[in-house]
């Protein structure tokens, strides 16, 4: 920030200084030229006349006494074809150069270096005097020493003035930058204190520009703590879920039970289902954090329809609804949620399952209905508990609806159970955020 400020200050000061130098220098030169032109027109041309021998003379002498002092730096000369130049005493043995080939009816001012070591500013004008047919060229010249000295003093003053202004602006920009960013050092110290365990949150008061950053850091810390607590909770849940099957297997093996193989197979299947449940949650949490999840609901519903119809040959699965709906959920997680709902409907229903995809504002609903016996309203919420089963005659672990609710919660969705008005059985409504 300081470097950028220094760059822009330098560019602006250089541009402004150059423009101001041009304006003031031009003003000095114009004022100098106006004086030369005034002397040329009103002290020389207007006072010139033709003498008895055809020579040029002045009816009144120029008032500037420097014309009389040799090499004074102020000179005049009147030149005409076929006549000796009429010059000021200050020229002494020198003569001004007369360039032919052009006509100066108005004063013409230019620089000249014809005198070694004495640069000149020359104003010249052509005139035809009464009583003469000769075109006379009037020239007045003055040394550029004075004007060059004025321009030098001006530029020196501008340089040091702008240098002081630039240095002051740079110091102010540096102080402003350091002072403006200083609260970030306090944020750094607060975060270091949190990392070392001295604090749990950023508690200091910051300017309004930094306050949102401190709030976001506090929210990030709270989110990290929630994730850590969630990880600990699910690790404990997984350990508790695996403890009972392992105990059953251990007891059967210790007692040399003749049904040991069946017990191992049954309990291993239960443990595998528990592991899949917790892996699904962990996978969903990781994908949600990426913020790039996207899935087409219709494609997932079609895939589940084909899989369930192959698995349950006596079940018919019909689908309808919005074919373009997309949600902010990973496809694998969506397949698992819809698959669990449809599999439950096929397993416990009467042989017919109907799936509807509906767009509801900011959400997309997947409605799964079956023609089974249904579930009493007071018993529906209990089905979302891990291991809860109302029909123990059918194979299963009672984790399907628990997985659906857990994964839906992770993505900000919901799942509810109702009564199907069309088929008479259970209606499961899965609502997920639309993309």
Q: Is 315 part of a structural domain of the chain? A: yes
- Residue 267: alpha-carbon gap to chain centroid: 57
Residue 331 lies in a domain: yes
Q: What is the pLDDT of residue 303?
A: 92
- Are 41 and 116 part of one and the same domain? yes
Q: Picking from 92-106, 182-196, 279-293, 405-419, which range would have the lowest pLDDT averaged per residue?
A: 279-293
Range of the domain at 16: 2-149
Query: What tokens were used for 80?
Result: 């005409």
Q: Which of 241, 259, 290 is the last residue of a domain?
A: 290
CATH number at residue 304: 3.30.565.10
Residue 277, domain member (yes or no): yes
Would you state the pLDDT for residue 240? 72
Does a structural domain hold residue 236? yes
Number of domains in the chain: 3
Same domain, 6 and 111: yes
What is the pLDDT, as a whole number, of residue 223? Answer: 81
User: Does 28 have pLDDT greater than 90?
Assistant: yes
* Shared domain check, 54 and 128: yes
β-partners of residue 356 are 320, 367
300 lies in the same domain as 407: yes
Instruction: Supply the pLDDT for residue 281.
Output: 65
How many angstroms separate the Cα of 213 from the Cα of each of 94, 176, 198, 207, 210? 82, 20, 20, 10, 5
Shared domain check, 344 and 260: no
| pTM of the predicted model as reported, rounded to 2 decimal places | 0.50
Residue 392 has pLDDT above 60, yes or no: no
Same domain membership, residue 398 and residue 369: yes
Q: Among 10-24, 361-375, 376-390, which range has the highest average pLDDT?
A: 10-24
Whether 93 is covered by a domain: the verdict is yes
Domain harbouring 134, CATH code: 3.30.450
Would you place residue 291 in the very low, low, confident or very high pLDDT band (cuts 50, 70, 90)? low
Asked if residue 109 and residue 17 are part of one domain, the reply reads yes
For range 187-211, the mean pLDDT: 85
369 and 264 assigned to the same domain:
no
Question: What would the mean pLDDT of 69-88 be, rounded to a whole number?
Answer: 91
Mean pLDDT of 215-237: 81
**Residue 393 domain flag:** yes
Highest average pLDDT, of 194-198, 258-262, 314-318, comes from 314-318
Q: What is the pLDDT of residue 288?
A: 55
pLDDT confidence of residue 120: 94
Establish if 184 belongs to a structural domain: no
Q: What is the pLDDT of residue 207?
A: 83
Predicted confidence (pLDDT) at residue 160 exceeds the cutoff of 60: yes
Percent over 70 (pLDDT), the chain: 92
| 45 neighbors 56 (Cβ within 8 angstroms) | no
End-of-domain residue from the set 270, 290, 310: 290
Residues 234 and 262 in one domain: yes
* Shared domain check, 121 and 7: yes
Same-domain check for residues 99 and 56: yes
Mean of pLDDT over the chain: 86
Residue by residue, what is the 3-state secondary structure of the chain? CHHHHHHHHHHHHHHHHHHHHHHHHHHHHHHHHHHHHHHHHHHHHCCEEECCCCCEEECCCCCCHHHHCCCCCEEEEEEECCEEEEECHHHCCCCCCCCCCCCCCCCEEEEECCCCCCCEEEEEEEEECCCCCCEEEEEEEEECHHHHHHHHHHHHHHHHHHHHHHHHHHHHHHHHHHHHHHHHHHHHHHHHHHHCCCCCCCCCCCCCCCHHHHHHHHHHHHHHHHHHHHHHHHHHHHHHHHHHHHHHHHHHHHCCCCCHHHHHHHHHHHHHHHHHHHHHHHHHHHHHHHCCCCEEHHHHHHHHHHHHHHHCCCCEEEEEECCCCEECCCHHHHHHHHHHHHHHHHHHCCCEEEEEEEEECCEEEEEEEECCCCCCHHHHHHHHCCCCCCCCCCCCCCCHHHHHHHHHHHCCCEEEEEECCCCCCEEEEEEEEEC
Residue 353 lies inside a defined structural domain of this protein: yes
Arithmetic mean of pLDDT, 388-397: 43
Identify the domain boundary among 290, 312, 344: 290
Q: Report whether pLDDT(280) > 80.
A: no
Whether 238 has a pLDDT exceeding 80, the answer reads no
Q: How large is the average pLDDT for residues 290-313?
A: 85
Whether the Cβ atoms of residue 186 and residue 206 lie closer than 8 Å to each other: yes
How far apart are alpha carbons 376 and 371 in whole angstroms? 14
Residues 16 and 98 in one domain: yes
């Amino acid at each position: 920030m300081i470097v950028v400020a220094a760059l822009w200050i330098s560019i602006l000061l250089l541009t402004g200084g150059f423009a101001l130098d041009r304006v003031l220098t031009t003003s000095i030169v114009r004022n100098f030229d106006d004086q030369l032109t005034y002397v040329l027109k009103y002290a020389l041309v207007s006072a010139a006349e033709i003498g008895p021998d055809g020579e040029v003379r002045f009816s009144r002498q120029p008032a500037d006494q420097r014309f009389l002092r040799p090499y004074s730096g102020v000179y005049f000369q009147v030149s005409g074809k076929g006549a000796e130049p009429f010059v000021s005493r200050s020229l002494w043995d020198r003569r001004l150069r007369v360039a032919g080939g052009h006509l100066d009816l108005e004063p013409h001012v230019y620089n000249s270096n014809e005198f070694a070591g004495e640069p000149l500013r020359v104003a010249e004008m052509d005139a035809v005097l009464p009583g003469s047919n000769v075109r006379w060229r009037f020239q007045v010249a003055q040394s550029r020493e004075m004007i060059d000295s004025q321009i030098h003093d001006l530029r020196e003053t501008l340089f040091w003035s702008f240098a002081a202004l630039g240095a002051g602006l740079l110091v102010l920009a540096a102080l402003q930058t350091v002072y403006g960013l200083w609260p970030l050092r306090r944020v750094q110290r607060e975060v270091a204190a949190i990392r070392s365990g001295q604090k749990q949150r950023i508690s200091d008061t910051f300017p309004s520009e930094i306050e949102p950053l401190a709030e976001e850091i506090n929210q990030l810390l709270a989110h990290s703590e929630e994730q850590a607590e969630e990880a600990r909770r699910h690790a404990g849940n997984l350990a508790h879920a695996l403890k009972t099957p392992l105990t059953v297997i251990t007891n059967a093996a210790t007692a040399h039970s003749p049904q040991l193989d069946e017990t191992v197979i049954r309990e291993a299947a239960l443990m595998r289902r528990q592991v899949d449940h917790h892996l699904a949650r962990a996978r969903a949490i990781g994908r949600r954090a990426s913020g790039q999840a996207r899935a087409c609901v219709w494609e997932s519903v079609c895939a589940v329809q084909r899989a369930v119809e192959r698995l349950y040959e006596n079940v018919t699965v019909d689908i309808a609804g919005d074919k373009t709906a997309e949600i902010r959920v990973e496809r694998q997680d969506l397949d698992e949620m819809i698959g669990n709902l449809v599999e439950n409907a096929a397993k416990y229903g009467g042989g017919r399952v109907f799936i509807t995809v509906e767009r509801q504002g900011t959400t997309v609903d997947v409605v799964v209905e079956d023609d089974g016996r249904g579930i009493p309203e007071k018993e529906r919420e209990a089905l979302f508990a891990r291991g809860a089963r109302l029909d123990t005659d059918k194979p299963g672990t009672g984790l399907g609806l628990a997985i659906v609710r857990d994964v839906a919660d992770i993505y900000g969705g919901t799942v509810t159970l109702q009564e199907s008005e069309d088929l008479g059985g259970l209606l499961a409504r899965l609502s997920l955020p639309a993309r």
